[in-house]
């Protein structure tokens, strides 16, 4: 069950990325045994967002949460909510949000997406929230339709859940726009030989993406 304050938590996480400091993460093919050379400076957002590592083969892996006083859903595009944060001055920061469910309709994870401007290879960022019982060392897997799968590290956990802050390239954003669905996979800590697979619908992705806020670097 989603906690009432999660919307504000997601928005705070999303729009503090630009000032956060973290180790740079660069995608590495899973078939290789060594890490690929890291990219050069890409801005703070690129440093805190994990751009993932390729997976050789295989597939990756209602409601909206209760509203806080300072957050609201401006509109819905397909299966995506446009969540915005009320501010006293200036434009309201907005992100696109989707609650992810398993095949039985149970709430499993959440995702919020935003644009990144001037972030080098990172064109967009995403915050994925998985249950606390997730086996973090197995990472979070994402693949669009029958395309390649990439894995992403989890950044931290709170009482809300475990957060993966992900960076997407322009090519990956284009795949989201052209695709039907993305498969998100996580591994339960109590059942490390199994995977929990949820679907991230891409219906309405382009319309929602065109309206979300850019973080300028």
- In this structure, the strands spanning 107-119 and 214-216 are parallel
Does the pLDDT of residue 99 top 50, yes or no? yes
Q: How far apart are CA 146 and CA 88, in angstroms?
A: 44
Whether the predicted pLDDT of 19 surpasses 80: no
Cβ proximity of 98 and 110 under 8 Å: yes
- pLDDT tier at 213 (50, 70, 90 boundaries)? confident
How confident is residue 21, by pLDDT bands cut at 50, 70 and 90? very low
pLDDT at 78 over 60: yes
CB-side neighbour CA atoms (13 Å) of 3: 12
Query: In CATH, which of 2.170.150.20, 2.60.40.1880, 3.30.70.270, 3.40.640.10 is domain 6-216?
Result: 2.60.40.1880
Of residues 2 and 180, the one with the higher pLDDT is 180
Mean pLDDT across 192-213: 96
Position 130 confidence tier, pLDDT thresholds 50, 70, 90: very high
Q: Which residue did the predictor score with more confidence, 145 or 16? A: 145
Residue 137's pLDDT is 97
Residue 59 pLDDT greater than 50, yes or no: no
Checking if the pLDDT of 15 tops 90, the result is no
- Closest CA relative to residue 110, chosen from 23, 191, 8, 179: 8
Confidence of residue 56 (pLDDT cuts 50, 70, 90): low
The domain segmentation of the chain, as residue ranges, is 6-216
Residues making up the chain, counted from first to last = 217
Residue 103 is predicted with a pLDDT of: 86
């Amino acid at each position: 069950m989603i906690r009432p304050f999660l919307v504000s938590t997601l928005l705070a996480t999303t729009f503090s990325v630009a000032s956060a400091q973290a180790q740079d993460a660069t995608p590495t093919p899973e078939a290789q045994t060594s890490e690929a050379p890291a990219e050069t400076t890409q801005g703070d957002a690129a440093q805190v967002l994990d751009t993932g590592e390729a997976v050789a083969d295989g597939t990756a892996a209602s409601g909206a949460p209760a509203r806080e006083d300072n957050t609201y859903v401006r509109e819905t595009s397909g299966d995506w909510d446009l969540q915005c944060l009320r501010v006293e001055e200036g434009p309201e920061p907005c992100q696109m949000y989707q609650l992810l469910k398993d095949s039985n309709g149970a709430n499993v994870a959440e995702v919020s997406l935003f644009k990144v401007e001037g972030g080098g290879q990172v064109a967009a960022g995403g915050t994925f929230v998985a249950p606390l019982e997730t086996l973090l060392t197995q990472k979070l897997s994402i693949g669009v339709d029958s395309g390649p799968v990439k894995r992403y590290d989890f950044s931290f956990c709170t009482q809300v859940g475990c957060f993966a802050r992900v960076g997407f390239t322009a090519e990956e954003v284009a795949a989201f726009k052209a695709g039907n669905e993305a498969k998100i996979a996580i591994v339960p800590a109590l059942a490390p030989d199994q995977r929990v697979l949820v679907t991230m619908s891409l219906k309405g992705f382009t319309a929602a993406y065109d309206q979300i806020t850019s973080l300028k670097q």
